[in-house]
Amino acid sequence: MYDTIEIQRLAEKTNLLIDNLPGLSGIEELRDVLRFHEWRYYVDNNTLITDREYDILFNHLRKLEENNPGSITLDSPTQRVATALNPDFPAVKHIIPMLSLGNAYGPEDIRDFHSQIVKLTGQQEIEYTVEPKFDGGSVALVYENGILTRAATRGNGQQGEEMTPNAKTLPSVPLRADFKKHNIITAELRGEAVIRKDIFDKMNEKRAENGYSLFANPRNTASGGLRTKNPQETRNRGIEIFVFQLGHAVDSTSRNMLDDIPTHSGQLEALSFLGFKVPKEELRICKNIEDVIEYIAEWDEKRDSYAYEIDGMVIKVNNTKLQEKCGSTAHHPRWAVAYKFKAKQANTVLEDVEYQVGKIGSITPVAKVKPVHLAGVTVSSISMHNEEFIISKDLRIGDSIVIERAGDVIPYIVRSIPELRDGSQESLVFPKHCPIAPDKEVVLIKAEGEAAWRCTNCQCGAQDLMKMIFHISKNAMDIDGFGKSYVEKFYEYGWIKDIADIYDMDFDKIK
């Protein structure tokens, strides 16, 4: 759809636009760039920019159009109402449209949101709820006379894909619930299908053992699992549904029953009593916006240790009467906002590679990248582990690359972006000689079954030690059963230090 030249042009244009948001005269170019990134994300499955960067551009376009309604075109990305629905599942109209959420990226955005709420409600003191923004696939569940009659994906917000038989396999979705207790005859609930991180890992381990391809991440696995043709497969994926909203509730005379439970927290509590999985422990009621900011900061810290993947926190006005007063745009409710955690991924450039000689002479390639801000730190060096890593990812000097911080700690190269190559990129050739003693022409060796190249006679003295350890280990106990080399085990057990002491070697230098 896009050729290399066009991709490069649009990628460069993207950076220019992010740095310098255009006026009305640049609106068509902005739309072109957004269309391109939509295609990369939804069709090509190969995103070039972060969600945040996309949001900045999209929100700017929406603002330009709001201020200049005459400029809106039918094919503007803001006018998209339909995403492709899967023809395998019947399309059903949601009782209440499933809106999206506006985004906030820092305390200032959250305070702006609060100022807006104060204006809309005319009230100074607002009670908020804060709960995780689950990163999965959205669903709508309809109960009639207490029976689950329909489950659908979010689809395009107006219409979803009906997948009731699949949802019925999920233990977290009650097949019947005593809505009558609240005089509710018809109810529509919204929630998110998610998979616990540990269950996802185990599932992938099993798939690897059985020779199946691995699932990419819990989000796609959950959202894809809702739409499998075989309901048993949905069940096998360990999907759970967290309900986060009671969207619609009426009695036998179609009277709105939502008013009877006048807070969001109260509605979730009632749903919890009825047997639904709701974020009960996670939800906090905050008396003011500074408490909201504080609670979000707590979650920012602990989100990696949380059992489910979340990409932010959702802030909602707790009182439903005030929610009504705030109303909604066509896109999102004005009474709620999603605080997005800092992007875990970023794009940068692989500028150089240094080869470091580590413990026991193993050579580790380390990428020197154009410094980039990622999840709170500036990243400029990233381990590339070994030669195999470089080959499998086809990494070249000068490549644009996507990086992330695994578990928000260790930076990691996810992939290169070959489409952005302009011919100046150079393939990487792993050195044949020890990088810290090149003039001595000390060769590197790779033992069978090992991923690392090692120096055979490095000036640091580690190799002498290695030979010694191999010699000793032949006569020593079998410590190889742990899947590590003797040398690493010796190192781990602290014996290297002992041996270095005995042979009067400089242990710190070896380290």
Determine phi and psi for 360, rounding to 5 degrees.
Answer: 50, 30
What residues between 192 and 211 interact with ligand IVH by CB under 6 A?
A: 192
243, 336, 462, 466: residue in contact with ligand IVH (rule CB under 6 A): 336
What tokens does 444 get? 């590197």
Number of continuous H segments (helices) and E segments (strands) in the chain: 16, 20
With contacts defined by CB under 6 A, name the span among 73-81, 111-119, 220-228, 333-341 that binds ligand IVH: 333-341
Using rule CB under 6 A, residue 114 touches ligand IVH: no
Q: How far is the CB of 460 from ligand IVH (least distance, A)?
A: 52
What residues between 226 and 245 interact with ligand IVH by CB under 6 A?
A: 244-245
Task: Go through the chain and tell me how many residues it has.
Answer: 511
Strand-pairing partners, residue 130, are 284, 315
With contacts defined by CB under 6 A, name the span among 63-71, 94-102, 470-478, 503-511 that binds ligand IVH: 94-102
Q: How far is the CB of 283 from ligand IVH (least distance, A)?
A: 9
With contacts defined by CB under 6 A, name the span among 79-87, 129-137, 421-429, 443-451 that binds ligand IVH: 129-137
The answer to whether the beta carbons of residues 395 and 416 sit under 8 Å apart is: yes
Round to whole Å and give the CA distance between 76 and 78.
5
Using rule CB under 6 A, residue 134 touches ligand IVH: yes
Using rule CB under 6 A, residue 338 touches ligand IVH: yes
With contacts defined by CB under 6 A, name the span among 59-67, 77-85, 133-141, 363-371 that binds ligand IVH: 133-141
The answer to whether the beta carbons of residues 177 and 274 sit under 8 Å apart is: yes
Q: How far is the CB of 94 from ligand IVH (least distance, A)?
A: 11
- Return the number of the residue (37 or 454) whose C-beta is nearest ligand IVH: 37
The answer to whether the beta carbons of residues 405 and 426 sit under 8 Å apart is: no
- Residue ranges of alpha helices (H) inside 243-319 are 264-273, 289-302
Determine the residue with CB nearest ligand IVH: 138
Torsion of CA 495, 500, 503, 504, to 10 degrees: -150
Round to whole Å and give the CA distance between 463 and 32.
58
Helix (H, G, I), strand (E, B) or coil at 458: coil
Is residue 133 annotated as a catalytic residue, yes or no? yes
Can you spell out the DSSP letters for 191-202? EEEEE-HHHHHH
What residues between 147 and 186 interact with ligand IVH by CB under 6 A?
A: 154
Using rule CB under 6 A, residue 454 touches ligand IVH: no
Please state whether beta strands 102-104 and 336-340 pair in parallel, antiparallel, or not at all (unpaired).
parallel
Using rule CB under 6 A, residue 129 touches ligand IVH: no
- Return the number of the residue (261 or 336) whose C-beta is nearest ligand IVH: 336
Using rule CB under 6 A, residue 264 touches ligand IVH: no
21, 72, 95, 99: residue in contact with ligand IVH (rule CB under 6 A): 99
Using rule CB under 6 A, residue 101 touches ligand IVH: yes
Using rule CB under 6 A, residue 489 touches ligand IVH: no
Q: How far is the CB of 121 from ligand IVH (least distance, A)?
A: 17
Using rule CB under 6 A, residue 491 touches ligand IVH: no
Using rule CB under 6 A, residue 267 touches ligand IVH: no
Neighbours of 266 (CB within 10 A): 15
With contacts defined by CB under 6 A, name the span among 97-105, 270-278, 360-368, 478-486 that binds ligand IVH: 97-105
- Return the number of the residue (100 or 364) whose C-beta is nearest ligand IVH: 100
- Return the number of the residue (121 or 153) whose C-beta is nearest ligand IVH: 153
Using rule CB under 6 A, residue 261 touches ligand IVH: no
Using rule CB under 6 A, residue 133 touches ligand IVH: yes
Round to whole Å and give the CA distance between 76 and 79.
5
Helix (H, G, I), strand (E, B) or coil at 433: strand
The residue among 44, 24, 372 whose CA lies nearest residue 10 is 44
The residue among 14, 24, 100 whose CA lies nearest residue 57 is 14
Can you spell out the DSSP letters for 336-379? EEEEEPPPSEEEEEEEEEEEEE-GGGBEEEEEEEEEEEETTEEE
- Cα–chain-centroid distance for residue 55? 15
Using rule CB under 6 A, residue 380 touches ligand IVH: no
Residue tagged active-site, from 93, 119, 133, 325: 133
Using rule CB under 6 A, residue 314 touches ligand IVH: yes
Strand-pairing partners, residue 256, are 250
Give the amino acid at 297: A
Q: How many residues bind ligand IVH (CB under 6 A)?
A: 15
- Return the number of the residue (37 or 264) whose C-beta is nearest ligand IVH: 264
Q: How far is the CB of 275 from ligand IVH (least distance, A)?
A: 19
With contacts defined by CB under 6 A, name the span among 95-103, 177-185, 379-387, 448-456 that binds ligand IVH: 95-103
The residue among 97, 238, 224, 111 whose CA lies nearest residue 170 is 238
What tokens does 46 get? 């190969």
The answer to whether the beta carbons of residues 258 and 246 sit under 8 Å apart is: yes
Neighbours of 369 (CB within 10 A): 22
The answer to whether the beta carbons of residues 292 and 106 sit under 8 Å apart is: no
Sites of contact with ligand IVH (CB under 6 A): 99-101, 131, 133-134, 138, 154, 192, 244-245, 314, 333, 336, 338
| Catalytic residue annotation | 133
